[in-house]
Amino acid sequence: MPKFSNLTSDHINIRELAKSSDSELLKKMPGYILSLLEKIICQDEINRIIDVYSDYQGVSFLPKMLEELNIEPVVKGIDNLPEKGKCFFVANHPYGFADGLILTWLVASKYGNLKAIGNDVFMLIPQLRPLIAAVNVFGKNYREYIRELDKVYRSDIPITHFPAGLVSRLNNLNVQDGNWHKSFIVKAVECGRDVVPIYFPGKNSFLFYSIYKLRKVFMISTTLELALLPRELFNKRNRKIEVIIKEPIPCSTFDKTRTPHEWAQWVKTKVYSPDYH
């Protein structure tokens, strides 16, 4: 796949992405399948938004997207936001796009500039490029990504992060993240960043989880349901979305009594625990 951080195109173009892919399967994909993908990912609607808000970059783009979608964040625990923003703002990931939009908007509203550790596919949206510290969640990260991430970790600006890496899935009738990755714990200790846990109650559509379950039944490894995430975002139009900010956790908490992986799951437990809602 192309390195999205190096793209200069201002529009989503599935056909061009398929041509530039390292995958022979994508390069040979029939036109009617590509046309179907264009509809599934709402390519025309995304490109319309890119055009309408072409004058807005980074932080200024976030409230415009909330207005465009008529999404009203309902924020609880706002007093738990620390005065200084040099923190990891970590959250569960039930929606895919809407929670990322609200999380970055929330942190930007308090502190101004920020960096969001996110899938490099977000680099396809030109307005988001100034905000994204790109990672490849499905493969090996480029050296450029690693160098830029290290600069971000050592800076003083706020960092937003979904430590699960992937959108929450349905397991045993509960929508919940998988294991959280330990990197934010390691870097919190190393770079002196407190951790602010944030919880999003909510879920995606029945269709999203049905496709996930069906591909598991048929042992399909490709995460087909992710193609529905733009649709899931547009389905959140005209809705109120709740977000709950928990008490900050000092980085000194993460001592040697647990491994970084164990501390990451501990923070995840705090996010989901009703005692902390």
Q: How far is 139 from 141, CA to CA, in rounded Å?
A: 6
Q: How far is 224 from 61, CA to CA, in rounded Å?
A: 28
Percent of the chain scoring above 70 in pLDDT? 93
Distances (CA, A) of 166 to 73, 247, 251: 22, 24, 24
Q: How far is 219 from 61, CA to CA, in rounded Å?
A: 39
192: CATH? 3.40.1130
> What per-residue confidence (pLDDT) applies to 136?
76
Average pLDDT, the chain: 92
> What per-residue confidence (pLDDT) applies to 274?
84
Nearest to 245 by CA among 109, 137, 133, 152: 109
Burial (CB count <10 Å: 0-12, 13-18, 19+), residue 186: middle
36-70 tens-digit pLDDT? 999 999 999 999 999 999 999 999 999 999 999 99
Residue 1 pLDDT more than 50?
no
Provide the domain count of the chain.
1
| pLDDT greater at residue 100 or residue 221 | 100
Instruction: Compute the chain's Rg from CA coordinates.
Output: 19
Average the pLDDT over each of 140-144, 168-172, 271-275 and give the range with the smallest value.
140-144
Order of strands across the sheet with 159-161? 72-76, 240-245, 194-199, 87-91, 159-161, 115-119, 132-135
Residue 7 pLDDT more than 70?
no
Confidence bin at 138 (pLDDT 50/70/90): low
170-184 tens-digit pLDDT? 988 899 999 999 999
Q: Identify whether the C-beta of residue 157 lies closer than 8 Å to the C-beta of residue 88.
A: no
> What per-residue confidence (pLDDT) applies to 277?
45
Q: In the block, which residue shows the tokens 């971000």?
A: 152
Confidence bin at 219 (pLDDT 50/70/90): confident
Residue 9 pLDDT more than 80?
no
Percent of the chain scoring above 90 in pLDDT? 76
Angle between helices 43-52 and 61-69 (to 10 degrees): 130
Q: In the block, which residue shows the tokens 């003083």?
A: 156
What is the four-CA torsion angle of 126, 156, 67, 137, rounded to 10 degrees? 50
Confidence bin at 149 (pLDDT 50/70/90): very high
Residue 139 pLDDT more than 50?
yes
Residue 259 pLDDT more than 80?
yes
Structural domain span for residue 160: 4-276
Distances (CA, A) of 232 to 66, 116, 175, 204, 215: 14, 20, 15, 6, 18
